[in-house]
A = this chain, B = another copy of it.
């Protein structure tokens, strides 16, 4: 009996290995189909093949294969305004009946009047007031439900699709390709962490615990007789620029070997990743396709790409020219 078990196990291990190689071969037939056969696709594949080749100096063990992705403009659309800003504006309109004073108080009046110039003129202070009024006073779970129900009805003004479908197909393929090669994929975004967590697993295959973002403070308190977490109107952390490497270290505890962004807000994360010893992949998405998506960089109010683009050119980072390098933009395209 023991001998039979031993034979079965050895046969099974052999066949399992065969099965694994076969599955591997199938998965490898066509990685990144929405990427054209241009330089960025080639650098991605060369990098992944390099770090996964055992017995070479560039080999990176599975538990060190950390990849971090910005979200706005890197994984989903960030024009004509950040999605979270669209959420804030809609939520001000929704909550306005309970706040009659908003009709006469800035920055709320400007949002209700649809006067974006005046909203912009209230600056960071105005934005923080809007954040506080629309993002706090709810438990964490209640806020998740508000986000989910907004996403179910709101539509992107250009593409007339739910925002969580305005996701870049080539980047979803890249996330899958990296994960198939043992990478752990993280979002590291300036956006609110609780604004992302309700939908990132479905959209990107990234679970809540792998989403790092900006946050407001929470308070442990009793709500409806049960211990819960209440969202407060105070900023806890802004996960942008220098904040990105700081948050990566705090949340992940390790420098990534691959980092992906699209704006100056990602520059420090990319620099810090680039400064590690050993192989690394640094990639910027450059929005160059006004027809299929948007075209913007150095002058944009949202997702400004200026200094990081200069650094990419000097430092040899991979730059995706969306128009030339992607044959498909969105997941909803056929």
A193 CA / B13 CA spacing, docked (Å): 40
Interface assignment of A16: CB less than 8 Å from any CB of chain B: yes
Closest chain B residue, CB of each to CB of A63: B207
Give the CA-CA distance A218 to B271 in the complex, in Å.
Answer: 16
Q: Quick check: B18 and A12 within 8 Å, CB to CB?
A: yes
The 17 listed contacts between A and B (C-beta, < 8 Å) are: A5-B22, A8-B19, A8-B22, A11-B15, A12-B16, A12-B19, A16-B16, A16-B19, A63-B201, A66-B209, A140-B249, A208-B252, A208-B254, A209-B253, A220-B242, A220-B246, A228-B275
**Interface residue A153 (Cβ < 8 Å from any Cβ of B):** no
| Residues in B neighbouring A229, C-beta threshold 8 A | 245-246, 249, 272
Residue of B nearest to A248 (CB): B229
Copies of this chain present in the complex amount to 2
Min distance, Cβ A242 to any Cβ of chain B, angstroms? 4
Kindly state whether residue A56 has any CB partner on chain B within 8 Å.
no
Tell whether, in the assembled complex, residue A13 and residue B19 are in contact, meaning their CB atoms are under 8 Å apart: yes
A contact face: mostly helix, strand, loop, or mixed: helix
Q: Is the CB of B208 within 8 A of A220?
A: no
- The interface on chain A, measured as residues whose beta carbon lies within 8 A of the other chain's beta carbons, has a size of 45
| Chain B residues positioned under 8 Å from A271 (CB to CB) | 227
CA separation between A271 and B272, bound complex, in Å? Answer: 39
- A319 contacts chain B at the CB level, 8 A cutoff: no
Do A245 and B268 touch across chains, with their CB atoms under 8 A apart? no
Q: B275 to A226, Cβ gap below 8 A?
A: yes
User: Do A251 and B8 have beta carbons less than 8 Å apart?
Assistant: no
Query: Could you tell me if A272 and B227 are in contact, using CB atoms closer than 8 angstroms?
Result: yes
- Whether B16 contacts A15 by the Cβ 8 Å rule is yes
Nearest-neighbour CB distance to chain B for A213, whole angstroms, equals: 10
Is A122's CB within 8 Å of the partner chain B? no
Please, what's the 1-or-0 string for A203-229, where 1 marks a CB less than 8 Å from any CB in chain B?
A: 000011101000100111000001111
Find the B residue at minimum CB distance from A212: B251
Residues of B within 8 A of A85 (CB): none
Q: How far is the CA of A207 from the CA of B228 in the complex (A)?
A: 28
A271 to B228, CA, bound (A): 9
Pair A211/B19 contact, Cβ less than 8 Å:
no
Q: If A16-B15, A193-B250 touch, does A245 touch B220 (CB 8 Å cutoff)? A: yes
A9 to chain B, nearest CB (A): 6
Q: A22-B5, A245-B220, A272-B227 are in contact. Are A251 and B209 (CB under 8 A)?
A: yes
Find out whether the CB atom of A252 lies under 8 angstroms from the CB atom of B19: no
Cα–Cα, bound, A246→B193 (Å): 13
Partner of A272, one of B16, B220, B245: B220
Task: In the A-B complex, list the 6 residue pairs whose CB atoms are closest, starting with the nearest.
Answer: A208-B253, A12-B15, A220-B242, A12-B19, A226-B275, A209-B252
